[in-house]
Amino acid sequence: MHDRLRDAVRVAEGRDPQPSAAVLDSQTAHSHQGGEAIGYDAGKRTRGRKRHVLVDTCGLLLRAVVHSASIQERAGAKLVLAGITEAFPLLGLVWADAGYANRVDAGLREWTRTHAGVELRIVARNADVKGFQVLPRRWVVERTFAWLGRCRRLARDYERKPAHAEAMIKVAMIRLMAARLAGEDVEPQGPIETEAARRLNDDLSQK
């Protein structure tokens, strides 16, 4: 159901059902209780799991993998991108932040070319700017996390198993896509969604 709704939304927006580009990112969620694959994210100082998602340029979910928070971005990315072109044969480009590849370790870029069959392109932050930044392309996945944050069940990780957590992400996206296809207007909330809505309107007006 989720995949059919995603295809329907893309067609309704005048896009091919098969995406050619995507955006990758992760979000650490505090685990409310015990369960499988619970770890500690030292960078976020959070005990729980990571929600690793790949979304299309509309912000719609292509794949979600929930794993221990102790797994680093580069390793988690391989879980998401492994075999991705089998499900999405037209996919050729994936944007991600500097946490996935940098001058010290660019191994993931080579891995995505040889094993996943896609190009990984890094969108880096401006080191001269402090605080919140809306980054090109990356704002799309940040908006998706904002959408998921509206679902109370996803405010924390309440699930005992990673598979259940992945299912809840899909349930939240099913609700969002069904509302969009039904013509329900959803007002943007917060700086990320507001800026994303503005940029989306600019993109549509240029077509």
CA–CA separation, 137 vs 2, rounded Å?
23
> Which residue type, as a one-letter code, is found at position 179?
A
> Residue 88: which of 51, 53, 54, 114 has the closest Cα?
54
pLDDT tens per residue across span 20-73: 999 999 999 999 878 999 999 999 999 999 999 999 999 999 999 999 999 999
pLDDT tens per residue across span 147-180: 998 898 999 999 999 999 999 999 999 999 999 9
CA-only gyration radius of the chain, Å: 17
CA–CA separation, 47 vs 40, rounded Å?
4
Residue 41 β-bridge partners: 46
182 burial (CB, 10 Å; 0-12 / 13-18 / 19+) is exposed
Q: All domains of the chain, ordered by start, with CATH?
A: 2-205 (3.30.420.10)
Percent of the chain with pLDDT over 90: 68
- DSSP class of 112: I
Residue pair 176/149 in contact (Cβ under 8 Å)? The answer is no
